[in-house]
């Protein structure tokens, strides 16, 4: 295979700052009676914020009578799987890995936390070891998810000789182009930045013979439909394609029909949003100080790893500083942070160097951190979809979680 740079990088030096729809703030109202208004003006009822977890009968996400090492994989990959202490495959891994190893296209319907990343990385790394001419493109909606996939790749591909590059916003496009010119086997990208480097001639999409679109529904929700169409229209016809989404709508089906050839459909039972999360409200009394009430909750022993959501970047930063002044291990995650800062903060939270993270909705998209015990909505979210996204950060992988909303 030729180097990605052969298509005359530098032909177009003008950086194209496209206007792209994203999650944007809109008018928001919040009353002491506990109401929030979504983008279409419909109110979030307090009753929607109170629910008991259905915990006892949660189905396992694993196929317990099988082992990942049963699959026909190269020895380096099996060694890395063992090192990571992966044993039984999840349901999506059990169904998808053998079909991907056979070269089939996959239409996978499974939500975050189902083990999708290893389901596509394990067979694709195996394919890359067997054939060094294979090139792989993984497209995801957010920088944070791309970084998580990169981390997983680095561990699973250890000692295989396969290299990867992150092509995401917030990091130097020049440095990314430099790595692309060294022809890495795996490109892990967000749609907007991928289109940018393609337009600059730094990657030749026709040379990609394996493509994975992950969390397609979220990419479409975030306004990347035209970028996805651009990318898929320039791919080689001779490719293996994997398509993962939690839900399917008309636009998702359009992309799937364009991308996939005679796919194997794998649908994992979708857990109802918030099913294993105890949800309740914190009613503020007249004259009660909201910050002091928050501190009272954070001091409780059962509040071990907490994600606190605010509506604005300024509120997230102010709240973080006030808690830090009280000696709390805390930081803020929001859109004004540089990507390198955001990566360090998330890593510190994952490693328990922070036990409290203050975040806005935009910054938390793609945040995948294990063992978050509590989500606290310090500000009521803009709409119910955002609420479901927030509380979905806890109660993951069969564990019970807790969510509180200040009203």
For residues 257 and 380, is the Cβ–Cβ distance under 8 A? no
| Per-residue model confidence (pLDDT) at position 268 | 86
pLDDT: is 246 or 30 the higher one?
Answer: 246
For residues 316 and 325, is the Cβ–Cβ distance under 8 A? no
| Per-residue model confidence (pLDDT) at position 343 | 86
Average pLDDT, the chain: 86
What are the Cα distances from residue 156, in Å, to 55, 68, 122, 168, 402?
32, 13, 7, 21, 32
CA 83 to CA 217: how far, in whole Å?
Answer: 33
CA 89 to CA 204: how far, in whole Å?
Answer: 35
Domains of the chain: 36-57+272-406 (3.40.50.300), 61-267 (3.40.50.300)
Confidence of residue 102 (pLDDT cuts 50, 70, 90): very high
Select, from the ranges 87-91, 124-128, 378-382, 387-391, the one with the highest average predicted confidence (pLDDT): 124-128
Which tokens is 386 given? 């955002």
| Per-residue model confidence (pLDDT) at position 131 | 98
The region, left, alpha or beta by phi > 0 then psi within -120 to 50, assigned to residue 301 is alpha
Over residues 347-356, the mean pLDDT reads 92
| Per-residue model confidence (pLDDT) at position 57 | 53
Lowest-pLDDT range of 12-21, 55-64, 296-305:
12-21
Percentage above 70 pLDDT, the chain: 85
SS3 141: coil
Q: Is the pLDDT of residue 34 over 50?
A: no
Over residues 249-268, the mean pLDDT reads 94
| Per-residue model confidence (pLDDT) at position 339 | 83
CA angle (219 as vertex; 218, 224 as ends), nearest 5? 145
Q: Is the pLDDT of residue 349 over 70?
A: yes
Give the contacts of 79 (CB within 8 A, at least 6 positions apart). Answer: 159
User: Per-residue pLDDT tens for 361-374?
Assistant: 876 666 778 889 99
| Per-residue model confidence (pLDDT) at position 54 | 61
CA 343 to CA 337: how far, in whole Å?
Answer: 10
| Per-residue model confidence (pLDDT) at position 230 | 96
| 279-290 burial: b if 16+ Cβ within 10 Å, else e | bebbeeeeeeee
CA 388 to CA 337: how far, in whole Å?
Answer: 24
pTM for the full predicted model: 0.76
For residues 271 and 109, is the Cβ–Cβ distance under 8 A? no
SS3 286: coil
| Per-residue model confidence (pLDDT) at position 271 | 60
CA 213 to CA 218: how far, in whole Å?
Answer: 11
Q: Is the pLDDT of residue 188 over 50?
A: yes
| Per-residue model confidence (pLDDT) at position 313 | 95
Exposure of 78 in the CB half-sphere (CA atoms within 13 A): 9
User: Per-residue pLDDT tens for 307-339?
Assistant: 999 999 999 999 999 999 999 999 999 989 888
Q: Is the pLDDT of residue 39 over 50?
A: no
Confidence of residue 393 (pLDDT cuts 50, 70, 90): confident
| 337-348 burial: b if 16+ Cβ within 10 Å, else e | bebeebbebbee
What are the Cα distances from residue 333, in Å, to 122, 201, 313, 330, 361?
31, 33, 8, 10, 9
| Secondary structure element (H or E) that encloses residue 93, with its range | helix 91-101
């Amino acid at each position: 295979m030729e180097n990605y740079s052969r298509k005359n990088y530098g032909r177009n030096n003008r950086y194209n700052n496209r206007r792209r729809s994203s999650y944007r703030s809109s008018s928001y109202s919040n009353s002491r009676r506990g109401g929030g208004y979504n983008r279409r003006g419909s109110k979030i009822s307090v009753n929607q914020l109170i629910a008991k977890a259905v915990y006892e009968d949660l189905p396992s996400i694993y196929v317990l009578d099988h082992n990942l090492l049963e699959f026909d994989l190269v020895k380096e990959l099996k060694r890395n799987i063992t090192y990571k202490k992966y044993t039984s495959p999840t349901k999506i891994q059990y169904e998808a890995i053998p079909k991907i190893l056979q070269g089939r296209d996959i239409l996978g319907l499974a939500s975050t936390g189902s083990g999708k990343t290893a389901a596509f990385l394990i067979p694709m790394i195996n394919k890359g070891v067997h054939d060094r001419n294979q090139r792989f493109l993984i497209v995801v909606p957010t920088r944070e998810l791309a970084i998580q996939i990169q981390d997983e790749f680095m561990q699973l591909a250890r000692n295989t000789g396969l290299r990867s590059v992150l092509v995401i916003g917030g990091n130097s496009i020049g440095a990314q182009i430099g790595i692309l010119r060294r022809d890495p086997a795996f490109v892990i990208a967000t749609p907007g930045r991928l289109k940018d480097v393609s337009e600059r001639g730094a990657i030749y999409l026709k040379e990609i013979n394996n493509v994975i679109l992950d969390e397609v529904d979220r990419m479409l929700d975030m306004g990347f439909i035209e970028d996805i169409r651009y990318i898929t229209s320039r791919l080689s016809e001779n490719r293996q394609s994997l398509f993962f989404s939690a839900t399917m709508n008309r636009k998702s089906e359009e992309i799937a029909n364009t991308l996939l050839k005679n796919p194997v459909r794998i649908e994992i039972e979708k857990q109802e949003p918030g099913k294993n999360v105890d949800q309740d409200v914190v009613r503020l009394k007249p004259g009660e100080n909201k910050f002091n009430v928050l501190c009272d909750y954070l001091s409780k022993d059962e509040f071990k790893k907490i994600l606190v959501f605010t509506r604005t970047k300024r509120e997230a930063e102010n709240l973080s500083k006030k808690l830090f002044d009280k000696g709390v291990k805390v930081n803020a995650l929001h859109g004004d942070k540089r990507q390198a800062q955001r990566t360090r903060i998330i890593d510190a939270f994952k490693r328990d160097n922070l036990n409290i993270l203050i975040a806005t909705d935009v910054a938390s998209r793609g945040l995948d951190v294990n063992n978050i015990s509590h989500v606290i909505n310090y500000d009521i979210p803009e709409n119910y979809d955002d609420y479901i996204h927030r509380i979905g950060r806890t109660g993951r992988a069969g564990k019970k979680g807790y969510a509180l909303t200040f009203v």
